[in-house]
Structure 1
Amino acid sequence: MEFPDAIPPLLIKFALTVAFSFVVGLEFRRYQRMNQYKFHFGSTRTFVLIGLLGFILYTIDATHVLFGYGLLLLGSMLLIYYWRLSLKGMLSLFSALLALLIYLTGPIVSLFPSWFLILFIVLLILMLGEKPLIHRISDKLANEEIVTLAKFLIISGVILPLLPNEPIGPMMPVTYDKVWLAVIIVSGFSYLSYLINTYFFKSRSLMITGILSGLYSSTVATVVIGRRAHHLAEAAPFVSSALIMATAMMYIRLLAIIFLFAPAAGQRLLAPFLAAILLSICTVFTLFRFKDDLSQPSAAGTIEHPLELSTAIVFALSFMIFAAITQYVTSNYGGRGLNFLAIVVGFTDIDPFILSLLSGEFTVSASAIVSAVILASGSNNLLKAIYAVVLARNRSVTAAAAWLVFLFAASILYAFKINA
């Protein structure tokens, strides 16, 4: 008999209840001292006794009636405690609610898996120990972001389950739910980048703009940095590095989206995309060797909110239009026509095209689909090179433009190699 098997399960549950109640009690005691509470709510021992009370009452009565009476008694005592505090001008319910949660530790130990118990205790400790951080986040988070989060939950948790898993039509070999799933995935990545940009990097350098805005949209990042570069002719290493990192982030974003949407295609695209990412990062390190003593300039421009309903509808319509065009081209012109279409689409928004290509059932090989994804991303790099040169109108973007043109040429060669 192994040692863990020799320990009675009841003893293990008892020990876990005592241990976790004790740990939370210690943290609560520190919380009281840090906030200089004049009216102390018990001590560490109080929390241990509350946890034990809940565990024993829950265990000795299979109907759990005694546990309910205990909860009522504890709640009444905490209500009196809160009333007395209110007379002193202290209206916080935090201590009372925390004591009630500790009372529930015993049933949680008995009923829930160990990972939930640990998650429960860790959350209580974070609520106690990270009060300043939570307040700062609450102060920063704008009210409209709560509404936006509600919108995202609606489009992902309400609309998606209602959509049928049926093809939209003969010319659109994608299903309704796949279209909306693409909207959710792309919007989710864009929204994450938007939040980081807005609430953590308000005063950001060009490099931060390239990295985070590239996660949102490398084309948008190129436009923002290109306009800023018009007045930064002497900061070429920083400007070009930011533009290259924006494109590297595009490949990272595409890989993540493709793996979520079509893992098999993601595995085939992993090698070329990783090569583009790593070579881009090496190019940035090389450029930084020539920065001399220049200080990194800040970036201007803001990112528009990505979770507007109109944006989601436009993306869904683009998805369906590209699916219909791709169906027509592949049916009539095969893989060669698809490659030509991919190059042309690279001068527009490539996300709906790539996702419609990966989610539909087209009459081309898997190699042709991978080739089209590479060509679309490559021609999009050519578009960004043109944007950078036209908007900056100086030599600060020369290195970045040359690198983007190189990536376009490499994409063409790699696609031909696949199709050979």
Structure 2
Amino acid sequence: MLMEFYRGIPPLLLQFIMTVGFSFVVGLEFRSYHHANNYKLHFGSTRTFVLIGVLGFILYTMDPSRLLFAAGLLLLGALLLVFYWRLSATKQFSLFSTLFALLIYLIGPITSLFPGWFLVLFIVVLILILSEKTLIHHFSDQLANEEIATLAKFLVISGVILPLLPDQAIAPMLPVTYYRVWLAVIIVSGFSYLSYLVNNYFFKSRSLLITGLLGGLYSSTAATVVIGRQAHGLDSSSGRKVSSALIIATIMMYIRLLAIIFVFDKSVAMQLLAPFIVIIFISSLAVFGLLTVRNHAPVLHETTEVKHPLELSTAILFALLFMLFAFITQYVTSNYGSHGLKYMAVIVGFTDIDPFILSLLSGKFIVSDSALVSAVILASGSNNLLKAAYAVALARNRSVLFGAAWLAFLFIISILYTYNYAW
């Protein structure tokens, strides 16, 4: 019924109504912005913004050559220049109001040319710029100068280097392409970078549970080391939160692996979906059981800095490990088949599993998808055993016993699952 109603409205009328309505809404927010900040001089009011929006829409629509629209833009720009000249005479040099008026002038053409979702997004951005001034300033003040350079590095490695790399095998014993190697670097670095930003700019003083949650997205092994060190010297009354943090870090590892594997090999990811979801579900139940039991232990905080994931040396090391594991995997699968791959996966689990798993999914090895699934489960399972050993060795008390035992349990069920799945 609603769609039929919209179809009955002439498109030109609908575009005009949207232009007026959105110009009015932004004008209201612009007025509130100036009142909230006690600005005495500003360009126009809500009605002025509506008139600017209508002017842009009419001039754009009535002249297909767009000359009238360009003339209107020049006229509006001249008026805004006069306004800015008057503003600068009072030692105020902000271009915010003038630029905002020009953006309102563009609402009409955007309504006519772009799909509705883009128009809504454009208006939402304008409103957020007005309403979240304090948040934007706070974020820009907190943002370290080197983070801008870091973002530039990420754009270079993803938007410049990646398209230039050939998508062809590196060598007969390295059945992965240059493109896939660097794509793996970008995806893993992207996940780690997101976790790094959240860790450093939203949870600088974070509890152990947050460390497990966000640190697990970055690296569950690194998070386990941090939690184990923090647990050292604590008594058993803190054991529930410490063990919960250890398990949460591993839950995040499985979620991160599943997301990355979906990018590289959807068929393998679909086969991993059931066992990974089972592990995530039962582990979440264990955490829920630990946290719902009343515990009066103090809230523990961890402020250890996370190593920056977008350092060039880190990316190069990951790429080298990726190719090394691809070479070893090619040798093992060529000489020992899927059985050799499974034994190798268990061993690799005691190192860095990300480059191994991604090289496994990116190369063209002579093994079945079921063997790949088994290798991923075994590698992640043995990595849990490594983390359990780290936790016990670093904490050296009873606070980590349940968490370490649970990680060892996950290793055992990973072995049992792969044995029944495709051994």
Fold conserved (TM > 0.5)? yes
Alpha-carbon shift at residue 70 of structure 1 (Å) = 0.9
Alignment match, 1:381: 384
- Which of 200, 203, 218 aligns to 1:201? It is 203
Task: State which of 325, 330, 354 in structure 1 corresponds to 2:328.
Answer: 325
Paired residue for 1:192? Answer: 194
Alpha carbons of structure 1 residues 68 and 389: separation in structure 2 relative to 1, 3 Å: same
Matches within 5 A, 1:221-260: 221-234=223-236, 235-260=238-263
Distance in 2 between the 1:291 and 1:138 partners?
A: 40
Q: Residue 160 of structure 1 contacts residue 177 of structure 1 at CA under 8 Å; is this kept in 2?
A: yes
Aligned position for 2:78: 76
* Paired residue type of 2:304: G
Counterpart code for 1:406:
F
Give the Cα separation in 2 of the matches to 1:206 and 1:57.
59
Give the distance between the partners of 1:245 and 1:291, measured in 2 at CA.
Answer: 19
Residue from 281, 284, 287 that aligns with 1:281: 284
- Which amino acid in the other structure matches residue 59 of structure 2? L
- Map residues 53-132 of structure 1 onto 2, 5 A cutoff: 53-132=55-134
**Counterparts of 2:175 and 2:162 in 1: how far apart (Å)?**
18
For residues 284 and 151 of structure 2, the distance between their equivalents in structure 1, rounded to whole angstroms, comes to 33
Residue 173 of structure 1 aligns to a residue in which SS? strand
Q: Deviations over 1:168-224 (max 9, x none)?
A: 111011111111110000000000000000000011111111111111001001111
- Deviation string 1:376-415 (CA, Å, 9 cap, x unpaired) is 0000000011111111111111101110110000000001
For structure 1, which segment, 304-313 or 5-14, has the greater mean C-alpha deviation from structure 2 after superposition? 5-14
Q: Deviations over 1:99-145 (max 9, x none)?
A: 00111111111111111111111111111111111111111111101
Distance 1:296 1:285 in 2: 17
Structure 1 residue 239 displacement after superposition:
1.1
Corresponding position of 2:213: 211
Q: Distance in 2 between matches of 1:300 and 1:74?
A: 52
Paired residue type of 1:88: T
Cα drift, residue 237 of structure 1? 1.1
How many residues are aligned here? 420
Q: Alignment partner for residue 176 of structure 1, among 175, 178, 200? A: 178
- Residue pair 1:224, 1:300 contacting (<8 A) in 2 also: no
Corresponding residue of 2:342:
339
Alignment partners' CA distance in 2, 1:300 and 1:112: 46
Contact 2:42 2:97 in 1 (8 A): no
Comparing 347-356 and 389-398, the one that deviates more = 389-398
Counting aligned pairs with the same residue, the percent is: 69
Query: 1:52–1:290: structure 2 CA closer, same or farther, 3 Å change rule?
Result: closer
CA distance, structure 2, for counterparts of residue 3 and residue 225 of structure 1: 59
Query: What are structure 2's unaligned runs of at least 5 residues?
Result: none
Contact 1:346 1:376 in 2 (8 A): yes
Q: How big is each residue's C-alpha offset from its partner over 1:17-70, in whole Å with a ceiling of 9 and x where there is no partner?
A: 111111111111111111111124211110011111111111121111111111
- Alignment check: 8 A CA contact 1:109 1:117 kept: yes
CA RMSD of aligned residues (A): 1.3
Aligned partners of 1:418 and 1:356: how far apart in 2? Answer: 22
Shift of 1:289: 4.1
Instruction: In structure 1, list runs of 5 or more residues that go unmatched.
Output: none
The counterpart of 1:397, out of the listed 372, 387, 400, is: 400
Q: CA deviation at 1:161?
A: 0.5
Give the C-alpha shift of residue 271 in structure 1. 1.0
- Counterparts of 1:148-167 in structure 2, within 5 Å, are 148-167=150-169
The runs of 4+ residues in structure 1 deviating greater than 6 Å are none
Q: Distance in 1 between matches of 2:113 and 2:200?
A: 42
Q: Distance in 2 between matches of 1:223 and 1:57?
A: 64
Shift of residue 2, structure 1, vs aligned partner = 4.5
Return the alpha-carbon distance in structure 1 between the equivalents of residues 303 and 11 of structure 2: 61
Structure 1 distance, partners of 2:298, 2:151, is 37
* 2:34 equivalent among 24, 32, 35: 32
Amino acid of the residue matched to residue 346 of structure 2? I
Confirm whether residue 407 of structure 1 aligns to residue 410 of structure 2. yes
Residue type of the alignment partner of 1:271: A
The answer for the alignment partner of 2:16 in structure 1 is: 14
Contact 2:204–2:303 (Cα < 8 Å) also in 1: no
Give the CA deviation at 1:5.
3.2
SS at 2:302's partner residue? coil
Aligned partner of residue 217 in structure 1, secondary structure: helix
SS across alignment from 2:324: helix
After TM superposition, give the deviation of residue 291 of structure 1 in Å: 4.8
State the distance in 2 between where 1:96 and 1:111 align.
24
* Amino acid of the structure 1 residue aligned with 2:151: L
Distance 1:11 1:206 in 2: 57
- 1:268 is aligned to 2:271: yes
Q: How much does 1:259 deviate? A: 1.1
2:50 aligned to 45, 48, 51, which one?
Answer: 48
TM-superposed deviation, 1:94: 0.7
